[in-house]
Chain A
Amino acid sequence: MVELHFKIFRFDPQVDKGSYFKHYTVKAEPEERILDCLNRIKWEQDGTLSYRMSCGHGVCGSDGMKVNGTCRLACQALVRDYQCPEVVLEPLPVFKVLKDLVVDMDPFLKGIKLLRPHLISGAPAPEKERKQSPEDRKKLDEVIRCILCACCTASCPVNWINEKYTGPAALVWAFRYIFESRDEQILERLRQVDHPDGAWGCVNHFECTRVCPKEIPVTKSINTIKREIEKRLR
């Protein structure tokens, strides 16, 4: 067991004039998750602490937060990697705080929705499956790992200064269908992100790639979209 000192962002917009940090101390095994520590704090010390969680192993994408300055999933952060005087937990930046570590995800999802993240095909569906070569399918291998946790978008320095920027997560979803061989609106999809606040908003900070809990090469994917725009639209 090791002892960890947590400093956790607290804010209830209904009662608090401003945000503040609250300190907690918990004991945990090195192989436990930061999420386990949060649960212990909530269950044993302070029931008023709010955060989201569900699957606990990096699949559902609920518990994105800032851990010592880096956006990540609390369920993928292990105690053994935080042998430091203090572990600071803050809500994902960029988004509006609803309470403590819970942020408003609606604008994030709306941004993706605008890019029509569903297959568009006018042709009548065949009786069986549409054919797709393993090579075409492989192009999607990385982007379909996205779990909508928003860590990338929250970490992107462009997002911090330009709220109109489409953002890395939405561009990952754009990639998902631009490079989908079964989709029939590739040019329209490219045009939709061919603007200064779209794919061209990315200036290669690589923060998204660095924080992605599913190891999606986000920046590379955005650059691939840019090259496709140059190739197909110019």
Chain B
Amino acid sequence: MVFKHDIVIVGSGLAGLRAAMEVAGVADVGLISKVYPTRSHSGAAQGGIAAALGNEEPDSWEWHMYDTVKGGDYLTDQDAAEILAQDAPRAVYELEHMGVPFNRTADGRIAQRAFGGHTSNFGKAAIKRACHAADRTGRVILDTLYWETVRRGIRVYNEFQLVDLIIKDNQVVGLVAYELANGQVHVFHSRIVVVGTGGFGKVFRTTSNCFANTGEGVYLTYKAGIPLEDMEFVQFHPTGVYGLGILITEAARGEGGILRNGKGERFMERYAPVIKDLAPRDMVSRAIYQEIREGRGINGRDFVHLDLTHLGKDKLAEKLSDITSFAKIYLGIDPAIAPIPISPTCHYMMGGIPTNLDAQVLGKDQQNVPGLYAAGECACLSLHGANRLGCNSLLDLVVFGRRCGEKMIQDLKQLSWTDLPAHPEERTLARIETLEKRKQGETAYALRASLQKTMMDHCSVFRNQTGLSQALADIQVLKGKYENIFVRDHGPRYNTDLMEAFELESLLGLAEAIVVSALARQESRGAHSRQDYPDRDDHNWLKHTLIQKTERDPRIFFKPVTITRFQPKARTY
């Protein structure tokens, strides 16, 4: 079938929903999502959303902007950070007005708590800036925005998976989607496509990301020849449940939780004397691995403890009830009584589809691609630089999701309809046929497991030339094997076997982009830590990496960082 909308948004997380709300009633919008919207991974965000409301102690948006820039190890484009920090209070009040059930202060205002890397007075002390609803902040915002889109009658195509973008003469014409319920391949004809497909943590074995986070939107943009930005910057969240990778929110430390090594020491005191356990995530993750490497893991093993025992049952119940229940369910541990075993888990992609401040996607010549927009984790503004601060991602989604919507309303006046090319769905149909014809070969599962292992072994918190080269070689082998992949399910209904085979192409392509970008950057900055280049090198590397797919090897080039208020200096906490 061919569906026609002025705007088609791919992804129903907070960025997609917020953009949709902005244009609803003004333009005809369709939202496609591979899962029901309330299953989107924005809902797994726990700790909070940052805004300098000053409800708990004096705060200013300049401090928030500074923290964002310093947290990003000065790779942050400061014009983007300024918009984020300045617009944050409005964005949070807007959510409150929509009904988001934030926790409250004694006098009825939105409650705030401390979070990693958020400080007062340009780094002097930790500050309470994270607005929250217990430890399910993302989920309640997602629910609120979802029902709001329902109320506004926005057309949602549930369980439609993006499989191809239609771009003709550098102009977006629409996309191709696979309907999971019946296996039909549909064409969406539109004047605008918004990519809001989130992260792609599934390239790693240990991740807090959901199964759906496989990055189709980013990969298909890359495949269309549009370069991706800063792909080497992958955030590992320090506190994943050991062995499972399930997220334990940074709010656990914001509320007073402490990391301890095998000797019972509060080791973060040595790495970040001022804000200790509330250092940014990249630093804490490295510190944990450092402790483990030097034999100070718990019983010499590869994890440390997150100690919440001193917080008391009441605080855990009021502020951290979800993570308390995770610890009980998955580990059989009551955090009020015993510490939680944790190790870093792949959490967030700082890199992605380059956009300007209005979510317009920038092509290889840095000019925007007419009709193509991106917002949320899949986009790279670059707002989070080399390392994102906690609570800045929910904020990013609602601030830049809205800006994306505003810009689209303006641009629709100039964007005319372009005719669809003949049979745009053919490529997809042919691909399905090939996959189904092959009676034996490689399975997506086995290749994916190998990919996730090599990425974990060679491209996680610490990296070096040898390991990255090995990862790249492994990926080449896997890409070769992918050519011989087959599917076992040939039915049309809920054929996730087929979709997983499609997803694997994205994972392989994005993993390659991460590794090639990581090989290129010969310095350590934020979440990209090279053992063979341990220092930050502003002279040579204060610039964004761009990677473009070509007929042969990917091409790497660079673009400058936007620096306005804060000159780079040493990053200590």
A residues adjacent to B (C-beta < 8 A)? 12-15, 31, 42-44, 46-48, 50, 52-62, 76, 78, 98-100, 102, 105, 109, 113, 116-119, 125, 127-134, 137, 140-141, 144-145, 147-148, 180, 182-183, 214-215
Whether the Cβ atoms of A144 and B496 lie closer than 8 Å is no
| Complex CA distance for A144 and B147, rounded to whole angstroms | 13
Contact flags B29-65 to A (C-beta < 8 A → 1, else 0): 0000001101111011000000001000000000000
Which residues of chain B are near A183, meaning CB under 8 Å? 99
Whether the Cβ atoms of B326 and A60 lie closer than 8 Å is no
Whether the Cβ atoms of A56 and B497 lie closer than 8 Å is no
A137 contact from B104, B211, B491, Cβ within 8 A: B104
Q: Which of B101-126 contact A (CB under 8 A)?
A: 101-111
A59 contact from B44, B99, B331, Cβ within 8 A: B44
Closest to A119 in B: B99
| Complex CA distance for A96 and B258, rounded to whole angstroms | 48
Residue among A55, A76, A137, A182 facing the most chain B CB atoms (10 A cut-off): A55
| Complex CA distance for A61 and B136, rounded to whole angstroms | 13
| Complex CA distance for A213 and B329, rounded to whole angstroms | 10
Query: A103 to nearest B CB, angstroms?
Result: 11
Contact flags B76-106 to A (C-beta < 8 A → 1, else 0): 0000000000000100110011110111111
Query: B567 to nearest A CB, angstroms?
Result: 34
Which residues of chain B are near A56, meaning CB under 8 Å? 210-211, 246
Whether the Cβ atoms of B210 and A46 lie closer than 8 Å is no
Query: B440 to nearest A CB, angstroms?
Result: 13
Known: A42-B497, A55-B44. 12 other contacts (CB 8 A): A13-B493, A47-B443, A50-B494, A56-B246, A59-B139, A60-B40, A78-B330, A109-B36, A125-B97, A130-B96, A148-B38, A180-B99
Residue among A31, A44, A52, A129 facing the most chain B CB atoms (10 A cut-off): A129
Which residues of chain B are near A48, meaning CB under 8 Å? 488-489, 491, 497
Whether the Cβ atoms of A14 and B492 lie closer than 8 Å is yes
B residues adjacent to A (C-beta < 8 A)? 35-36, 38-41, 43-44, 53, 89, 92-93, 96-99, 101-111, 133-134, 136, 139-140, 143-144, 147-148, 150-151, 181, 210-212, 243-244, 246-247, 318, 321-322, 325-326, 329-331, 443-445, 487-489, 491-497
Which residues of chain A are near B326, meaning CB under 8 Å? 57-58
Query: A234 to nearest B CB, angstroms?
Result: 28
If A12-B493, A129-B110 touch, does A47 touch B140 (CB 8 Å cutoff)?
no
Whether the Cβ atoms of A140 and B494 lie closer than 8 Å is no
Whether the Cβ atoms of A118 and B147 lie closer than 8 Å is yes
Whether the Cβ atoms of A60 and B38 lie closer than 8 Å is yes
B140 contact from A53, A57, A58, A144, Cβ within 8 A: A144
The 6 closest A-B pairs by CB, nearest first: A119-B99, A47-B488, A43-B445, A131-B108, A50-B494, A47-B497
Which residues of chain B are near A60, meaning CB under 8 Å? 35, 38-41, 43-44, 210
Which residues of chain B are near A44, meaning CB under 8 Å? 445
Query: B395 to nearest A CB, angstroms?
Result: 16
| Complex CA distance for A61 and B322, rounded to whole angstroms | 14
Which residues of chain A are near B134, meaning CB under 8 Å? 141
Which residues of chain B are near A214, meaning CB under 8 Å? 325
If A48-B491, A58-B329, A98-B493 touch, does A134 touch B105 (CB 8 Å cutoff)?
yes
Query: A79 to nearest B CB, angstroms?
Result: 12
Whether the Cβ atoms of B43 and A128 lie closer than 8 Å is no
Residue among A52, A99, A118, A137 facing the most chain B CB atoms (10 A cut-off): A118
Whether the Cβ atoms of A215 and B489 lie closer than 8 Å is no
23 CB-based A-B contacts, threshold 8 Å: A43-B444, A43-B445, A47-B497, A50-B493, A50-B494, A52-B39, A54-B41, A57-B326, A59-B43, A59-B322, A60-B38, A60-B43, A60-B44, A61-B39, A105-B36, A118-B150, A119-B98, A129-B92, A134-B103, A134-B104, A137-B104, A140-B101, A148-B38
